[in-house]
Amino acid sequence: MRTLTRLALLLLLPSVAFAQAAPGSIPPVATEPAPPGPLDIEIGYRTLSLKGNEDLYRTQINERRGIFIRSMTILTSEPRDISQIDRLRIDGTEIGPGSPASALRLEASRYSYYRLLFTWRRTNSFSALPAFANPLLEQGVITGQHTYDRRRDMMDAQLDLLPRAKITPFIGFGFRKLSGPGTSTFTTGTNEFQLSQSVEEREHEYRGGAYYDFGSVRGSITQGWRRLRSDQTWTLLSRDGNESDPVLNHPTFATAMQRDDHSRTRTPFTNAVFAAQVAPRIRLKASYVRYSAETDDEGTGDLAGSFISLPMLRFFNVMSERVSSSAKKTVTRGSGRAEVLVHKDVTLFAAYQNERRDIAGTGLLDTLYQETLNFDGLDKRDIEAILRSNSSIHRRSNLGLAGISFRAPGPLSLRFEARDDRQQLDVAKDLAEIVLPGNQWGTWDRHVKTLDGTASFMRGNVYLGASYRRDRANVAVFRSDFLDRDRARVRASWRRTKWFHASLSATETRQSNDRTDTALHAKSRQYGGDFEAIPWHAISFHGSVSRFTTDSRILIRHPETFITEPSIYAGRGTALDGGVTVTHGLFTFAANGGRFRNRGENPFTIRRATLHAGFSFPNSRAGMLLELARDKYSDTNASFSNYTASRAGIYATYRP
């Protein structure tokens, strides 16, 4: 009740806005949307005012100042058989330097001749978490290792020829690029040194194939080739490592370091899908996927300074390393599925899937240690160490399932499915990989049986739905694997004509492994409710409250003391959201906001608010839109992480 009261109060405060709707668009209102037109665009400029930790803001949100296209749709049609493009649609979102993520989609076609689909996405990935992977934090060093500022570009184009013919050939091309600076770590002996890292990875994908449609037999076949080039270089960022104390009265430091790594991966893949209506009530589906990826890697490393090697029990001053490795992964998956329509509303289905996954790798590491001394400072010599190591993982999986789907002509729908999944895992022993004996190789045969059911009831304005899934396994491969898992969901919603809608939902998942050496017990719950009220066609309110709890407990052993104790993790999140939207004549106004508080581990509070005000010029398709957004992050344990980010954007709009 207290929560509901708070929510009601929040809704009464027009200045408090919640983040229910995406800032990228005016929130939907209870009016009929305008039909798509030749041009729908929002373009403008966003400012940013940031107080507090910029690194964390950029890691979590990263919206910046600058000009950008917030949204864009271009839609045209031309007379058939006159233009080479009789239909063109371009959709763009957040394109420009002011946004951390951009997307563009282009679809062009000429009826019966071709269809071209092009997509492009760019994300700016920034991560500089103050406390993450930063052992020097307590010494006041804020910048963490594993910081990066990278750009990821992804594009894909596919051209379908004769899209309405019995056979539709297609060709496709994909390109992905990840590049930018970062930091990393090099570990040697008893110390870790921070490195600056430069990454450039490019992947090209070429594919071709055809869709086929011969009446009762349909499907597609695709043959593709992928090629990944990865080039990385590292240089020394700081002379001092994480360990400032001398070891055996011997200081460790680095004076120079240069490493580079080049890998090439080639991956041919085949993908085939087949569907057939073998009888009026029987459908068959089959699919086959195979890919075989091969990686060759070459790398060098040169290090100078003063170091310790524990395996050699020696000090050394110079190290040169040459690495050559290769790996191969082959995955083959075949599946078949039959569906029998025993009645118009009752479908029986059964499926089988077999998967084979084989990974094998080999590495040759040639390391030359120069100017080494034993721990007495004697016996100066150069030592070359050659290490050859191999790894392999073989996995076989056989999945069978059967079920029934019942769709009554009335309000009730039921669906039930039983699955039986047998997984065999075989990991080879490799002495080079083993530090302490045990648990690094072996054979596991895991058998998971699943029951999965869904029921929904819908009559008039009321909907009730429930689902339950139960998994039982005989063994756990990893300690975090469950032996027993149960998941239940319920949902109810009620709609009062067009002016009110409310729903409640709850999900609980429990998983456990009762073996005395594991004692895994995990439970997560999510429940919440939301409503939307439209008391008048020009105004709508919405709000939601949700809460999640996570509790996990598993037995662990501390490596330094061999003490066994439970590892306990708890999450306690509560979210409140709400807002109001008003449309009147040429004006649109929306205020949204929310607060998310986590009281579990890593406690924090986030408060978010957005305000939109739109105006359309009379007798014109043009308008203006003002948007204010504010995010306040408060970390309970690490106040140096806190930030408050305020953005203001003004956009010109043109609507069809």
What residues numbered 371-430 form the site for another protein, per CB under 8 A? 389, 391, 393, 395, 405, 407, 411, 413, 415, 425, 427, 430
Residue 646 is a binding residue for another protein (CB under 8 A): no
Vertex 143 angle, CA 137 and 145, to 5°? 90
Output the smallest distance, CB 560 to another protein, in A. Answer: 4
Q: Tell the smallest beta-carbon distance from residue 498 to another protein (Å).
A: 13
Nearer to another protein (CB atom), residue 371 or residue 430: 430
Query: Is 363 among the residues that bind another protein (CB under 8 A)?
Result: yes
**CA-CA distances (angstroms) from residue 493 to 51, 460, 466?**
41, 11, 12
Q: Taking CB under 8 A as the rule, does residue 182 contact another protein?
A: no
Nearer to another protein, 132 or 536 (CB): 132
Neighbours of 442 (CB within 10 A): 12
Using CB under 8 A, pick the residue from 569, 622, 650, 652 that binds another protein: 569
First-last CA distance in the chain: 45
Query: Shortest Cβ distance from residue 421 to another protein (Å)?
Result: 10
x-or-dash string of contact with another protein, 483-502, rule CB under 8 A: --------x-----------
Q: Give the 3-state secondary structure of residue 85.
A: coil
Binding-site member from 49, 244, 602, 639 for another protein (CB under 8 A): 602
**Span from 209-217, 312-320, 376-384, 620-628 in contact with another protein (CB under 8 A):** 209-217
Residue pair 210/167 in contact by the 8 Å Cβ criterion: yes
Cα(327)–Cα(600) distance, integer angstroms: 41
Q: Does 341 bind another protein (CB under 8 A)?
A: yes
Would you count residue 350 as binding another protein (CB under 8 A)? no
Identify the helix (H) or strand (E) that includes residue 59. Answer: helix 54-60
Radius of gyration of the chain (CA): 30
Burial status of residue 473 (CB atoms within 10 A of its CB: 0-12, 13-18, 19 or more): buried
Among 306, 456, 644, 646, binds another protein (CB under 8 A): 456
Q: CB nearer to another protein: give 127 or 372.
A: 127
Residue with tokens 């509790």: 551
Least spacing, CB of residue 250 vs another protein, in Å:
17
Within 291-330, which residues bind another protein (CB under 8 A)? 291, 293-295, 297, 299, 301, 323, 325-329
* Residue choice 577, 607, 611, 627 for contact with another protein (CB under 8 A): 577
Among 198, 258, 354, 546, binds another protein (CB under 8 A): 546
**Which residue type sits at 334?**
G
Closest CB to another protein among 378 and 563?
Answer: 563
* Structure tokens, 504: 């409640």
CB-nearer residue toward another protein: 160 or 588: 160
Closer residue to another protein in complex, CB, 28/377 = 28
Q: Does 97 bind another protein (CB under 8 A)?
A: no
Q: How far is the CB of 380 from another protein (least distance, A)?
A: 27
User: Applying CB under 8 A, does 265 fall inside the site for another protein?
Assistant: yes
CA atoms within 13 A on the CB side of 294: 4
Q: Which stretch binds another protein (CB under 8 A): 8-16, 26-34, 578-586, 612-620?
A: 26-34
The Cα angle at residue 578 between residues 572 and 581, in degrees rounded to 5: 160
For the bound state, the minimum distance from the C-beta of residue 73 to another protein, rounded and expressed in Å, comes to: 5
State the CB neighbour count (10 A cutoff) for residue 79: 7
Q: Which of 176, 447, 449, 521 binds another protein (CB under 8 A)?
A: 176
Q: 288 and 270 in contact (C-beta within 8 Å)?
A: yes
* Tokens representing residue 485 in the block: 């898992």
Phi and psi at residue 4, in whole multiples of 5°? -65, -35
Q: In terms of Cα–Cα distance, which of 328, 305, 324, 300 is closest to 316?
A: 305
Q: Does 25 bind another protein (CB under 8 A)?
A: yes
The position carrying tokens 């139960």 is: 470
CB of 7 to another protein, least distance (A): 15
CA 76 to chain centroid: 34
604 touches another protein by CB under 8 A: yes
User: CB 378 → another protein: shortest distance, Å?
Assistant: 25
Residues 225-244 that bind another protein (CB under 8 A): 226, 228, 230, 242-243
Query: Which x/- pattern, by CB under 8 A, does the window 108-147 give for another protein?
Result: -xxx---x-----x-x---x-x-xxxxx-xx------xx-
Q: How far apart are CA 394 and CA 390, in angstroms?
A: 14
Size of the site for another protein (CB under 8 A): 201
- Locate tokens 């040639």: which residue? 366
Residue nearer to another protein on the CB measure, 380 or 602: 602
Contact 360, 328 (CB under 8 A): yes
336 lines the binding site for another protein (CB under 8 A):
no
Burial readout 254-266 (b: 16 or more C-beta within 10 A, e: otherwise):
beebebebebebe
Residue 178, both tokens? 């990840």
Q: How many residues does the chain have?
A: 656
- Measured from the CB atom, the residue of 156 and 371 that comes closer to another protein is 156
Is residue 277 at the binding interface for another protein, with CB under 8 A as the rule?
A: yes
Listed in order, strand segments (DSSP E) in 28-166 are 39-52, 66-77, 87-95, 101-110, 114-127, 148-161
Note whether 179 binds another protein by CB under 8 A. Answer: no
Q: Which of 559, 585, 618, 619 binds another protein (CB under 8 A)?
A: 559
Question: Taking the complex as a whole, how short is the minimal distance between the CB of residue 269 and another protein, in angstroms?
Answer: 4
Q: What is the DSSP letter of 247?
A: B
Residue 615 binds another protein (CB under 8 A): no
Does residue 70 contact residue 98 with C-beta atoms inside 8 Å?
A: no
- Interface with another protein, residue 470, by CB under 8 A: no
Among 1, 2, 5, 32, binds another protein (CB under 8 A): 32
- Of 511-540, which residues contact another protein (CB under 8 A)? 515, 517-518, 526, 528, 530
Residue 417 near residue 454 (C-beta atoms within 8 A) = no
